[in-house]
Amino acid sequence: MNGWAREKVVFKEPNPKLITGSNVNNMLKKIILLLLLMVSTIIAGLPQGASPNNREASKIPAAEIPPKTIVLTFDDAVKSQLTVVAPLLKQLGFQATFFITQSWMKDKSYFLTWEETAELYRMGFEIGNHSWTHSNFGKAENGAKLGEELQMVEKELARVGVPKPVSFAWCGNAFGPEAIAQLRRHGYKLARRGMQPEVPYGAIQVGPALDVTKHHPLLIPTTGDAYPAWTLEHFKRVISSARPGEVVVLQFHGVPDISHPWVNTPAEAFREYMNYLKQNGYRTIAMRDLLQYYNTSRLPDDPLVKTRFGR
């Protein structure tokens, strides 16, 4: 529902047989009254310096978001994302974004190599940037250096044939204005944060669902951050939390995640979650697919853009 239908004015052709002197008079009166009403409505609704088009543009998504839309994201370049997650998603016809960092790549037994990252890309998944060092970019001094790290990741991706990403995921869910400026400068269009500040880290709670008229595309909230204590019941609460026009954003790590057990998702539980989505008519998209729903000529005035968050 985009609001246009409500404002549509239907003009009826007058029946020529019924036009008489007094009818013409009445009709003129009605038309003048209607015009006065329209003008006063427009003036009353105008904020200073804004046109009616701009006012509406901030409220109406660029494209209608189908219900049961889920953004699937996987962080930290964990090997099981290639061996367990990707084959299952292909089988179910699900899209997703994998956020790659060099941070743990030295450990080849549990983390992806750049060549393996390219395999995910060739399978049709989106590859996003998750920085070189996985630092807290909420800190001003780290945030100012994010640009160099983005480029280091881009260079390695280019070497294995993966194009420059448009999506970023905040490391440790920390964010700040200096890093946002770096993302803009380096052409990043979308960035996912955590459930914070709305929901504390580690809590088995439902985070905010994405509202493209409220959340800035460089601060897309996580609706569900997958922790080992998740159950199918909690998963159902997360995915059913979006109101019409909102999108659920899921953040996973390794499936399983042996090196980082606090964000582990057991493979059996993951299969259960994904099968539930499939059986109940949900569709999953990659982060980049959100761009079509943003009105890029007027992005939401999100107060978090001017704040910082980090442990």
Note the residues at the interface with Zn ion (CB under 5 A): 75-76
Distances (CA, A) of 198 to 188, 195, 205, 206, 209: 24, 6, 10, 10, 11
For 70, the enclosing helix (H) or strand (E) is: strand 69-75
Note the helical H segments in 210-265. Answer: 232-239
Q: Which amino acid belongs to residue 295?
A: N
Residues 6+ positions from 109 with CB-CB distance below 8 Å: 79
Q: Which amino acid belongs to residue 219?
A: L
Task: Give the nearer residue to Zn ion in terms of CB position, either 75 or 225.
Answer: 75
The answer to whether the CB of 137 falls within 8 A of the CB of 144 is no
Q: Please, what is the minimum distance in Å from the beta carbon of residue 263 to Zn ion?
A: 8
Distances (CA, A) of 91 to 87, 94, 95, 271: 6, 8, 11, 11
DSSP-based three-state secondary structure for 194: coil
- Dihedral (CA of 270, 271, 276, 279) sign: positive
Report the C-alpha gap between 87 and 250 in whole angstroms.
Answer: 18
Task: Give the nearer residue to Zn ion in terms of CB position, either 61 or 197.
Answer: 197
Q: Please, what is the minimum distance in Å from the beta carbon of residue 72 to Zn ion?
A: 15
Task: Give the nearer residue to Zn ion in terms of CB position, either 76 or 246.
Answer: 76
The answer to whether the CB of 116 falls within 8 A of the CB of 82 is yes
Q: Please, what is the minimum distance in Å from the beta carbon of residue 76 to Zn ion?
A: 4
Q: Please, what is the minimum distance in Å from the beta carbon of residue 260 to Zn ion?
A: 9
DSSP-based three-state secondary structure for 197: coil
Report the C-alpha gap between 95 and 97 in whole angstroms.
Answer: 7
Task: Give the nearer residue to Zn ion in terms of CB position, either 225 or 246.
Answer: 225
Tell me the residue number closest to Zn ion, measured at CB.
Answer: 75
Task: Give the nearer residue to Zn ion in terms of CB position, either 75 or 149.
Answer: 75
CB atoms within 10 A of CB 57: 15
- For the CA atoms of 125, 126, 127, 131, the dihedral, rounded to the nearest 10 degrees, stands at -140
Task: Give the nearer residue to Zn ion in terms of CB position, either 199 or 212.
Answer: 199
Q: Please, what is the minimum distance in Å from the beta carbon of residue 246 to Zn ion?
A: 24
Task: Give the nearer residue to Zn ion in terms of CB position, either 126 or 246.
Answer: 126
Q: Please, what is the minimum distance in Å from the beta carbon of residue 169 to Zn ion?
A: 7
Q: Please, what is the minimum distance in Å from the beta carbon of residue 252 to Zn ion?
A: 11
Q: Please, what is the minimum distance in Å from the beta carbon of residue 81 to Zn ion?
A: 12
The answer to whether the CB of 215 falls within 8 A of the CB of 226 is no
Task: Give the nearer residue to Zn ion in terms of CB position, either 138 or 300.
Answer: 138
